[in-house]
Amino acid sequence: MRELFDLQGSYNEVTGGLYSGDPYPIWHRLREEAPVHAGTVHELTGIPDTLYFQGLPFPDRPHFSAFSFEACNEAFRNPAVFASSPEAVDAGPEARIPGQNMLAMGGTQHRRYRGLVQPSFLPSNAGWWMRNWIEETVHLLVDDFAAEGRAELNVDFCAAIPVLTITGSFGVPMEQALDIRAALGRDQQAIVDILTPIVAARRADPLDDLVSILVQAEFADEHGATQRLSDEEIHTFSLLLLAAGSGTTWKQMGTTITALLQRPDVLEAVRADRTLLRPAIEEALRWMPTDPMFSRWVTEDIEFHGQAIPAGSVLHMCVGAANRDPERWDDPDEFDITRKVKPTLAFGQGAHICLGMHVARGEMTTGINALLDRLPNLRLDPGAPAPSFVGMYERGATAIPVLFDPK
Ligand code: HEM
């Protein structure tokens, strides 16, 4: 468990887990020089390694990176020019991508597919996620350490909540949740082997879970005939949800908790007035989004914020830099939960805006509320190394050792 969720361990090395610097001053300088630069975000930040993330490494394509809010926002909102896959550049915006997940789809294929699953992820459905999976998971985890007076919140709490929520919604027994997490990105077949019997069981006998909704979802194909998702389509969607939903919320929750623990007066204010929790979560998403970069493939030669970008290039949108653009936020480096909440790019924008953002918010809200309700005098452990923020393309806090009054 610790190796899986060690941000500086082998699992995260390929996305720049060993980077422990503060990229924000460099990104400010880059944005001041020009909103869009030639090169990748990590090269421009001073990391020469080959890193992997959305849009990387693609060594045969030219790379550009956008650092201003305006440029990143524009790219997210213009899928005709900034497509979500290289196939869209090579075969056109309506290219159908067999076997690919919705993140890479474009046009009608993306709209149809997203429309099928979106209802389960709307804010009006957040209660369903909370009741079925999030609340029970959160309280079981707190039960585990509430009597101890100390805990390490990164692994023992933050990491476990999203994995157990997503695997729970897929009907995967808790004992197999870690096998799934370990196999993510390494052994897809192992995950498919766990999911296959569950999908078959729900086709025969649906329950109140996400996999049952997926097996029953109906759509009209291009000939008007009613279709259901194939096993392969359900597996592909499950793999995307597991990848997109488990690593992100873990790190974003750890970042939010760390930012609060580092500012005991702010933590106390949130404890006393829980209406402040929502702005605290939104401010952490702005201040330190866990994935500070997403990419698009450029479909035509363009002049973009002063850069000539040829068709076929990869554009990296540095949402970390965009979220601290002083044109949009005063004192952008300050973690200030009293600032007026404005949309950020932490969950992206446009057609691909994070499908799971309301689930993520529900997990973070339920998790942090439970800590504040159940752990009196919660504070960083002064005898242990203080948490710090690490990582290039997947950023988050190192261990978060805390003390509290045992119950
Ligand atoms: C704090 C946690 C999270 C962050 C910061 C985050 C961030 C993002 C971002 C930036 C995108 C857009 C990517 C792009 O445009 O290329 C995205 C897409 C997506 N996210 Fe999240 N995400 C989080 C949690 C979740 C959760 C919990 C789930 C599932 C329950 C989820 C499922 C998805 C899916 C399915 C997509 C693809 C949507 C599409 O292509 O239409 N995410 N996420």
The protein residue with its alpha carbon nearest to ligand 1, atom 31, reads 356
* DSSP structure string for 74-93: HHHT-TTTEESSHHHHHH-T
In the structure encoding, which two tokens stand for residue 218, read together?
A: 């109906």
Q: State the Cα–Cα distance between residues 130 and 360, nearest whole angstrom.
A: 11
CB 348 within 8 Å of CB 330: no
Strands 63-66 and 36-38: antiparallel
Domain contains 139: yes
Closest CA to 32 of 60, 57, 4, 68: 68
Domain contains 1: no
The protein residue with its alpha carbon nearest to ligand 1, atom 37, reads 103
Q: State the Cα–Cα distance between residues 8 and 12, nearest whole angstrom.
A: 6
Domain contains 335: yes
For position 15, which CATH number holds? 1.10.630.10
pLDDT score of 373: 97
Q: Is the CB of 241 under 6 A from ligand 1?
A: yes
pLDDT score of 327: 98
Q: How far does the centroid of ligand 1 lie from the alpha carbon of residue 384, in Å? A: 33
> What are the E-state strand segments in 93-235?
150-152, 218-220, 226-228
pLDDT score of 151: 96
* DSSP structure string for 223-268: TS-EEE--HHHHHHHHHHHHHHHHHHHHHHHHHHHHHHHT-HHHHH
Q: What is the pLDDT along the chain (407 residues), one digit of tens a residue?
A: 556 666 666 667 889 999 999 999 999 999 999 999 999 999 999 999 999 999 999 999 999 999 999 999 999 999 999 999 998 887 776 777 667 788 988 888 898 889 888 989 999 999 999 999 999 999 999 999 999 999 999 988 999 899 899 999 999 888 888 888 888 777 889 999 999 999 999 999 999 999 999 999 887 777 888 888 889 989 998 889 888 888 899 999 999 999 999 999 999 999 999 999 999 999 999 999 999 999 999 999 999 999 999 999 999 999 999 999 999 999 999 999 999 999 999 999 999 999 999 999 999 999 999 999 999 999 999 999 999 999 999 999 999 999 999 98
Q: State the Cα–Cα distance between residues 345 and 328, nearest whole angstrom.
A: 12
According to DSSP, the residues that pair with 298 across neighbouring strands are 82
The protein residue with its alpha carbon nearest to ligand 1, atom 7, reads 347
Q: Work out which ligand 1 atom sits closest to the CA atom of 296.
A: 16
Domain contains 62: yes
Mapping DSSP to helix (H, G, I), strand (E, B) and coil, where does residue 47 land? coil
Domain count, the chain: 1
Q: How far does the centroid of ligand 1 lie from the alpha carbon of residue 348, in Å? A: 8
Domain contains 149: yes
Domain contains 123: yes
Kindly tell me the burial class for residue 119, based on how many C-beta atoms sit within 10 Å of its own C-beta (0-12, 13-18, 19 or more). exposed
CA 278 to chain centre: 17
Domain contains 334: yes
pLDDT score of 1: 55
**275-286: pLDDT as tens digits:** 999 999 999 999
Domain contains 5: no
Closest CA to 339 of 348, 327, 329, 326: 329
Q: Is the CB of 245 under 6 A from ligand 1?
A: yes
Structural domain boundaries, residue 51: 10-403
